[in-house]
Amino acid sequence: MYLAIRPGRPAAATVRGSVGSVKASPEAARLLDADDPLGAVRGAFALPDGVIYLDGNSLGALYRPVADRVAAAVGTEWGRHLVRGWNDDGWWSAPLRVGDRIGALLGAAPGQVAVGESTSVQLFNALTAAARMRAARPVILTDADHFPTDGYIADSVARLLGREVCRTRDPHEALRRRGGEVAVLAWPAVDYRSGELWDVAGLTSAAHDAGAVVVWDLCHAAGAVPLRLDADAVDLAVGCTYKYLNGGPGSPAFVYVAARHQAGLDQPLTGWHGHARPFAMEAGYDPAPGIARARIGTPPIVSLLALDAALDVFGLAGLDVIRAKNLRLGELFITCADELLHGLGFEVATPREPGRRGSHVALRHPDAYPIMAALVEAGVIGDVRQPDLLRFGFSALYTSYADVYEAVRILAQVTASGAHRDPRFSVRRTVT
Ligand SMILES: Cc1ncc(COP(=O)(O)O)c(C=O)c1O
């Protein structure tokens, strides 16, 4: 799946778009910024001076109005209204209200998305419920390179239900070979390492042809890639909200359950918030109708309200405009990498075709960790995925083309100067 960098120096390193063909140069980046319909939105984000932030694929930046919303949620709603906030401030209804707002970004009609818990918890619930929809089929088919939590949870669900996990890098081939046995295809929309965008519609359709259901992990797609969950007949999906949705560290995850599956959804985590009559305090579990049954326990309200405020920025910018800019940022990055990193031992590990890219670009280098540590010290924040990938995320709402050019220029400087060989950069810390 990883594509090697083209050998040698590319003949024409250009970025093509509405402003014409642009060279990988600071002037070209400035021209793209001048022509950027999202340029004005950047000022609404809190970005520290002297830092180029290319890690929104891990933790989105702070949309400034969120700070006031959190202050009000804590100071007024919690501080003054106390427990009355559940009704008077709409805390109880927030998971589904915010769910509908996220659903609008996923191509989902209202009433199919609930917010709460972590992605890992949502994944466990969704994957188990999906496997129960195909009780006679033994296989959970998943990506061999999936994010670790997805793999761990698939294994646990398989143990719990007496199924088997089949890991592959070629889902179409695996469906052809074992399709009749597959209960669930559990797949990422965007690969967290390489940034490859999978064909959600095509894979969903192939899984359905085999009689399986799908559970998509949308962590690296939600808020960056336009999705069409309803139109593509997706069954279930989960995702986090702290990356391109800018919900803040540890903001709650979401789960999408297609309306046609809701009545029969048999979840393992039958929490009281998903009960038909939660305040009747009944001894037995009777699931609520509709998406409300996908609720589990008490959600992290302050974090959920922060997320709610963060979503307002999508009222300023449509996902199509965001996607177009993300792709252009990625293309400029790759072009600059070809030009400026030539001969420094990097290769582009992300597909070059726009249709196969999410919103980050990964570079492979044997010294990925110390290079990134030195780069962060030089003011450019990206991250590393072991053993050898440097990741750079583009968030059209606040990343500028000048950021991209400068980041690659500084990366070239750091690497060429050997700054990363300083022993302090080999001391491994957590780099998210
Ligand atoms: C693709 C993917 N799935 C799942 C997760 C884990 O999510 P959580 O920590 O919210 O459980 C992540 C975290 O970055 C991720 O990138």
Do β-strands 389-393 and 360-364 pair in parallel, antiparallel, or remain unpaired? antiparallel
Q: Decide whether any atom of ligand 1 lies within 6 Å of the 147 Cβ.
A: yes
Compute CA distances 220 → 156, 225, 357, whole Å. Answer: 23, 9, 11
pLDDT at 359: 98
Note the pLDDT of residue 7: 28
- From the first residue on, what is the mean pLDDT of each consecutive set of 10 residues in the chain (432 residues)? 28 36 84 96 96 97 98 98 98 98 98 98 98 98 98 98 98 97 98 98 98 98 98 98 98 98 97 98 98 98 98 96 97 96 97 96 97 96 95 98 98 94 76 50
Is 150 touching ligand 1 by the criterion CB < 6 Å?
Answer: yes
- φ/ψ of 102, rounded to 5, equals -70, -40
Residue 23 is a catalytic residue: no
d(CA 287, CA 274): 6
* Ligand 1 centroid to residue 400 C-alpha, Å: 26
Active site residue 63: no
CA nearest to 422, candidates 369, 383, 365: 369
Rounded to whole angstroms, the Cα distance separating 226 from 185 reads: 21
Identify whether 244 is a catalytic site residue.
no
Pick from 145, 147, 241, 391 the residue to mutate for probing ligand 1's pocket: most ligand atoms within 8 Å of its CB. 147
Q: Are residues 351 and 357 in contact, defined by beta-carbon separation less than 8 angstroms?
A: yes
Token pair 């009000």 is found at 72
Catalytic residue from among 242, 244, 254, 392: 242
**What's the confidence (pLDDT) of residue 426?**
75
d(CA 287, CA 261): 13
| First-residue to last-residue Cα distance in the chain | 23
Q: Indicate the pTM of the whole model.
A: 0.94
Catalytic-labelled residue, pool 42, 134, 193, 243: 243
* Residues 63 and 418 sit within 8 Å (Cβ to Cβ): no
Q: Residue 112: which region, alpha, beta or left (left: phi > 0; alpha: psi -120 to 50)? A: alpha
Strands 14-17, 360-364: pairing kind: unpaired
The residue to mutate among 119, 153, 245, 359, having the most atoms of ligand 1 within 8 angstroms of its beta carbon, is 119
Residue nearest to atom 14 of ligand 1 (CA): 58
Cα 300 to its chain centre, rounded Å, is: 20
Q: Which of 121, 196, 220, 240 to probe ligand 1 with, by most ligand atoms within 8 A of CB?
A: 240
Decide: 61 and 395 in contact? Cβ < 8 Å. yes
Strands 45-46 and 62-63: antiparallel
Cα 17 to middle of ligand 1, angstroms: 33
CA of 37 to the centre of ligand 1 (A): 31
Task: Give yes or no for residue 219 CB within 6 A of ligand 1.
Answer: yes
Assess whether 217 carries a catalytic annotation: yes
Is residue 228 among the annotated active site residues? Answer: no
Q: Is the CB of 192 under 6 A from ligand 1?
A: yes
Ligand 1 centre from 219 Cα, in Å? 6
Rounded to whole angstroms, the Cα distance separating 83 from 77 reads 9
The closest-lying atom of ligand 1 relative to the alpha carbon of residue 253 is 10
Token pair of 429, please? 């810390």
Q: Is the dihedral of CA 132, 134, 136, 137 positive or negative?
A: negative
Q: Does the beta carbon of 217 lie inside 6 Å of ligand 1?
A: yes
**Candidate list 217, 232, 338, 367, residue with the active-site label:** 217
